[in-house]
C-alpha cells in the first residue's frame, strides 16, 4: 500500500521520465517461468503486454498440455509479422470497443459538438469506426516492468502516461499472476489514476483445452454460465443500448452445451458482426457473487475442466471467427500441431472477464467505469483447473 501511494504521488515525475526515455526499458521478451508450489500447473509470461505465452495443466491421463494459443517465436509478439490477434496479454486502458473512439468525462450518451470534456482515442478497428482494446498502442503493446517475482508469482507494473492514446490522466497498473496449489491461476489487477478516466482491463487469452490433440474444432468443448442477457450490438459490435434475452437462442449457456454445436446453430451476422459465424459478444452475468465459479468450460476429450471465479459483472466470449486469414495463416505452436498446421476459425475460445462493453457511451447501463482520485480500479479472477 505504501509503495503504491508513493508511486501515485510521483506519477507525473515518473511519467515525464518515462516519456523522456531517461530509464532503459526492460527487455520485452524476458521470459518469466512460474510453477505452482505443488507443480500442478506451470505458466510462462513475457513483459511485452504482461503476456501469458504458455499454460500447462494435466489432462485426464496426468499428462501436461499447453492449452493456450500463442507464438513459439516470441519475436512475433512484437513485430506483428503474423498479425496481431492479442494472444495472451492484458488489454487496456479500456478493453473492448469504444464507439467512434469518443467518450466524455463525465460520461454522456450521443456525444455532440457541444458535449463538454470529450476525448478521442485512435479508431483502430472496422476501417476506423471504433477503438478496440485501448487503441493502436494499447496495454498489450507496452513493455511492462517486472516489479516482483517468486517461483509461483510475478507482478508486472505499467505506467500509462496522461494523454497516451487520447486518455486523460496517468494510470499506474499492477497485475499479479499467481499459480496456486490444486491447479489454480489467480490474476489480480489494481490500477490507480490521478485524474478521472475510464478504465476497463482484462486478460485476453485464447484457450483450446485439448491443445488440438483430439479434435481441431470446439465440438468437444462444453460451456456453462449463468447469463440470461447479452448486450445487443450492431454489425461492428458496438452496443445499441439494449439488452437481448438469450432464452431459447444459441446464446443461452445456462444449461451446459457444446460450443461447436452452438456456433453452428448461429447464422452469419447474427451475433458477432457482419459476416461472422459464432459469437463475439458481451454477456451479463446473473447475480455473480464472486465467491463461487460463474463460468465453466471443459473438454470431454482431454478431460480438462476450467472453472472461473471472478469479481467482474460481464464476460466477452469470442469463438475465433476470423483468426484464420488465408493470406497470412498463423502457424500453431509445436505443442499444438506445429508449423505445418494453422489456427483455424472456431477452433479456440477467448473469454474476457470484464465490465459491460462501452458503458462509457451508454450511461443508461448504470455501470460507472470512471476511476480517479478516491476510486481505484480492481479486477480479480481465479481460473481453477481439474479433470473430468
Ligand atoms: C522469429 O521471427 C523473426 C521475425 O519474423 C525472425 O526474424 C526470426 O528468424 C525468427 N526466429 C526463428 C528462430 O525462427
Ligand atoms: C466521431 O469522432 C470524430 C472525431 O474522431 C468527431 O469529429 C465526430 O463528431 C464523432 N461523431 C460522433 C457521432 O460522435
Ligand atoms: C441518444 O440517441 C438515441 C437514438 O437516437 C435515443 O434513443 C436516446 O434517447 C438518446 N439519448 C440521449 C440521452 O439523448
Ligand atoms: C472496410 O472497407 C472495405 C472497403 O470499403 C470493405 O470491403 C470492408 O468490408 C470494410 N471492413 C469492415 C470491417 O467494415
Ligand atoms: C513480492 O512477492 C513476495 C512473494 O510472492 C511477497 O511475499 C512480497 O510481499 C512481494 N513484495 C511486494 C513489494 O509486493
Ligand atoms: C486440493 O484439493 C483437494 C480436493 O478438493 C483438497 O482435499 C486439498 O486440501 C486441496 N489442497 C490444497 C493445497 O489446497
Ligand atoms: C459445424 O459445421 C461444420 C461445417 O459444416 C462441420 O464440419 C462441423 O462438424 C459442425 N460441428 C458440429 C459440432 O456439429
Ligand atoms: C426471457 O424470455 C423467456 C422466454 O420467452 C421468458 O420466459 C423470460 O421471462 C424472459 N426474461 C426476461 C428477463 O425478460
Ligand atoms: C438476481 O437475483 C434476484 C434475487 O434472487 C432475482 O430477483 C433476479 O431476477 C436475479 N437476476 C437475474 C438477472 O437473474
Ligand atoms: C446458476 O443458476 C442455477 C439455476 O438457477 C443455480 O442453481 C446455480 O446456483 C447458479 N450458479 C451460480 C454460480 O450462480
Ligand atoms: C490478411 O492478411 C493480409 C496480409 O497480411 C492483410 O493484408 C489483410 O488485411 C488480412 N485480412 C484480414 C481480414 O485481417
Ligand atoms: C517449423 O518447425 C520446425 C520443427 O518442427 C522447425 O525446425 C522450423 O524451424 C520451423 N519453421 C519456422 C519457419 O518456424
Examine the pLDDT at 117 and tell me if it is beyond 50. yes
How many domains are contained in the chain?
1
Residue 181 CA to ligand 6 center (angstroms) comes to 8
CB atoms within 10 A of CB 89: 26
Residue 222 sits in a domain whose CATH number is 2.70.98.10
pLDDT at position 1, please?
A: 37
User: Which one, of 113, 114, 174, 127, lies nearest residue 149 by Cα?
Assistant: 174
Asked whether residue 226 is domain-assigned, the answer is yes
For residue 249, being part of any structural domain is answered with yes
- Is residue 21 included in any domain, yes or no? no
Is the shortest distance between the CB of 345 and ligand 7 below 6 Å?
no
Average of pLDDT values for 297-307? 98
The Cα–Cα gap between 141 and 94 comes to 13
pLDDT confidence of 11, banded at 50, 70, 90? low
> What's the confidence (pLDDT) of residue 218?
98
Contact indicator for 319, 263 with CB cutoff of 8 Å: yes
Q: How far is the CA of 217 from the centre of ligand 1 (A)?
A: 28
Q: Which atom of ligand 10 is nearest to the CA of 287?
A: 14
Q: Give the residue, by CA position, lying nearest to ligand 7 atom 3.
A: 264
Ligand 7 atom nearest residue 263's Cα: 1
Quick check: 205 and 68 in contact, CB under 8 A?
A: yes
Tell which residue, 378, 352, 361, 365, has the closest CA to residue 280. Answer: 352
- Is 12 a domain residue? no
215 CB near ligand 7 (under 6 Å): no
Does the residue 4 lie in any domain? no
Tell me which ligand sits closest to the C-alpha of residue 284. 9
Is there a contact between 345 and 326 (Cβ–Cβ < 8 Å)? Answer: no
Q: Write out the residue range of the structural domain in which residue 256 sits.
A: 31-387
Nearest Cα to 53, choosing from 42, 37, 62, 61?
A: 42
The CA angle 226-232-233, to the nearest 5 degrees, is 135
Residue of 220, 222, 250, 260 best suited for mutating to test ligand 7, as the one with most atoms within 8 Å of CB = 260
Read off the pLDDT band of 26 (50, 70, 90).
confident
Q: Where are the alpha helices (DSSP H) in the chain?
A: 2-9, 11-20, 75-79, 259-264
Q: What is the DSSP letter of 162?
A: T
Residues 6+ apart with CB under 8 A from 235: 269, 273, 274
Asked, for residue 16, whether it belongs to a domain, the answer is: no
Cα 201 to middle of ligand 11, angstroms: 27
> Is the CB of 110 within 6 Å of ligand 3?
yes
Q: What integer pLDDT is reported at residue 24 of this predicted model? A: 61
Q: Which residues are catalytic?
A: 204, 352
- Report the residue among 230, 246, 286, 289 best suited for mutation to probe ligand 9: largest number of ligand atoms under 8 A from its CB: 286
Q: Which atom of ligand 11 is nearest to the CA of 328?
A: 2
Check pLDDT > 60 for residue 13.
no
pTM for this predicted structure: 0.93
Pick from 127, 272, 273 the residue to mutate for probing ligand 4's pocket: most ligand atoms within 8 Å of its CB.
127
Q: What is the DSSP string of 74-116?
A: THHHHH-BTB----S-EE-SB-SEEETTEEESS--SS--TT-S
Q: Would you say residue 3 lies in a domain? A: no
Determine, yes or no, domain membership for 151.
yes
CA of 294 to the centre of ligand 9 (A): 14
pLDDT digits (tens, 9 = 90+) for 71-102: 999 999 999 999 999 999 999 999 999 999 99
Place of cell 467512434: 100
Note the pLDDT of residue 3: 42
What are all long-range contacts of 39-44, with beta carbons under 8 Å and residues at least 24 apart?
40/181, 40/182, 40/183, 40/385, 41/179, 41/183, 41/184, 41/185, 41/385, 42/179, 43/177, 43/179, 43/185
pLDDT, tens digit, 9 for 90 and up, residues 128-182? 999 999 999 999 999 999 999 999 999 999 999 999 999 999 999 999 999 999 9
Amino acid at each position: 500500500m505504501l509503495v503504491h501511494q508513493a508511486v501515485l504521488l510521483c506519477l507525473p515525475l515518473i511519467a515525464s521520465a518515462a516519456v523522456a526515455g531517461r530509464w532503459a526499458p526492460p527487455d520485452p521478451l524476458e521470459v518469466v517461468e512460474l510453477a505452482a508450489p505443488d507443480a500442478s500447473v506451470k505458466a510462462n509470461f513475457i513483459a511485452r503486454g504482461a503476456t501469458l505465452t504458455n499454460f500447462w495443466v494435466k489432462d485426464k491421463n496426468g499428462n501436461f498440455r499447453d492449452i493456450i494459443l500463442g507464438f513459439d517465436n516470441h519475436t512475433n509478439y512484437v513485430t506483428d509479422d503474423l498479425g496481431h490477434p492479442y494472444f495472451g496479454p492484458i488489454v487496456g486502458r479500456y478493453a473492448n470497443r469504444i464507439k467512434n473512439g469518443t467518450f466524455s468525462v463525465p460520461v454522456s450518451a450521443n456525444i455532440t459538438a457541444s458535449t463538454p470534456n470529450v476525448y478521442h482515442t485512435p479508431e483502430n478497428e472496422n476501417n476506423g469506426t471504433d477503438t478496440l482494446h485501448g487503441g493502436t498502442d494499447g496495454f498489450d503493446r507496452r513493455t511492462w516492468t517486472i516489479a516482483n517475482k517468486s517461483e509461483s508469482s510475478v507482478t508486472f507494473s505499467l505506467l500509462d502516461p496522461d494523454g497516451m492514446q487520447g486518455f486523460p490522466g496517468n494510470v499506474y497498473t499492477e497485475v499479479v499472476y499467481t499459480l496456486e496449489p490444486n491447479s489454480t491461476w489467480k490474476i489480480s489487477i489494481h490500477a490507480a489514476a490521478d485524474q478521472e478516466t475510464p478504465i476497463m482491463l482484462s486478460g485476453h487469452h485464447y484457450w483450446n483445452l485439448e491443445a488440438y490433440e483430439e479434435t481441431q474444432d470446439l465440438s468437444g468443448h462444453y460451456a456453462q454460465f449463468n447469463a440470461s442477457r447479452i448486450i445487443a450490438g450492431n454489425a461492428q459490435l458496438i452496443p445499441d443500448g439494449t439488452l437481448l434475452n438469450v432464452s431459447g437462442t444459441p446464446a443461452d449457456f445456462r444449461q451446459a452445451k457444446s460450443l461447436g454445436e452452438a456456433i453452428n446453430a448461429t447464422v452469419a451476422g447474427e451475433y458477432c458482426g457482419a459476416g461472422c459465424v459464432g459469437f463475439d459478444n458481451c454477456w451479463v452475468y446473473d447475480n455473480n457473487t464472486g465467491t463461487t465459479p460463474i463460468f465453466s468450460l471443459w473438454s470431454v476429450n482431454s478431460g480438462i475442466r476450467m472453472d472461473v471465479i471472478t469479481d467482474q459483472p460481464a464476460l466477452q466470449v469470442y469463438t475465433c471467427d476470423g483468426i484464420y486469414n488465408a493470406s497470412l495463416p498463423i502457424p500453431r505452436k509445436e505443442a499444438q500441431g506445429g508449423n505445418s498446421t494453422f489456427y483455424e476459425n472456431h477452433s479456440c475460445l477467448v473469454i474476457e472477464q470484464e465490465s459491460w462493453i462501452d458503458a462509457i457511451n451508454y450511461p443508461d447501463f448504470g455501470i460507472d467505469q470512471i476511476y480517479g482520485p478516491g476510486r481505484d480500479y480492481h479486477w480479480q479472477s481465479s481460473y481453477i483447473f481439474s479433470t473430468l
